[in-house]
Amino acid sequence: MLIYEPSGRAREYSPLALNHYKGCTHNCTYCYVPRILGRFRDYNHSEVTQKDILRELEKELSKRNIKKQVLLSFTTDAYNGLEPEIGSTRKVLELFVRYGVPTAILTKGGKRLLRDIDLFKKLNCKVGQTVITNRQSDVDKIELGASSYQERIDTFKALHENDKNFCFYRANV
């Protein structure tokens, strides 16, 4: 199954999850994923690859009636630096709309996610952006490829201006 039940502390964010990319362009120094996945196999977290899962995901969604929230993503970022070229997140969200899957997204992608506002509305999607500091000099040191602090704040403002009822996802990191 592509959509899985996370274990441990991750469950506080969402009862279900889907990782449709492997790796991440943000290269955050505090990221747990390289340590966890690197223990089990040769793994380079800074190499981002799209998982070719759309057919398999649609097949899974057609067989399961998913009513619990699915989070994009625990071991990657749905709006990583390659998402604008690849567009995989939008395709996953379109499938979630078609099958009525409750959705949440946790990202550091900034304005990249604004492209999908129309789908967020259809899904009543919760969207969160990790913000660990308001000092850009710190962001530049520890979240090397992530959007800037100000871009994340501006993105939240844009989401709210677009829809006053927009539901924001607050994650404690």
The percentage of residues in the chain with a pLDDT greater than 90, rounded to a whole number, is 37
At residue 102, the pLDDT reads 96
Number of domains, the chain: 1
Ramachandran class of 8: left when φ > 0, alpha when ψ lies in -120 to 50, beta otherwise: left
86: number of Cβ within 10 Å: 15
Q: Is the pLDDT score of 16 beyond 70? A: yes
Mean pLDDT, to the nearest integer, of 139-145? 82
Q: Per the domain annotation, does 93 fall within a domain?
A: yes
End-to-end, the C-alpha distance of the chain in Å comes to: 27
Residue 167 lies inside a defined structural domain of this protein: no
Residue 58 maps to a domain = yes
Q: What is the pTM of this model?
A: 0.84
Whether residue 110 is contained in a domain is answered as: yes
- Is 89 domain-assigned? yes
On whether residue 173 sits in a domain, the answer given is: no
| Most trustworthy range by pLDDT among 32-36, 126-130, 166-170 | 126-130
Q: Which domain holds residue 75?
A: 8-162
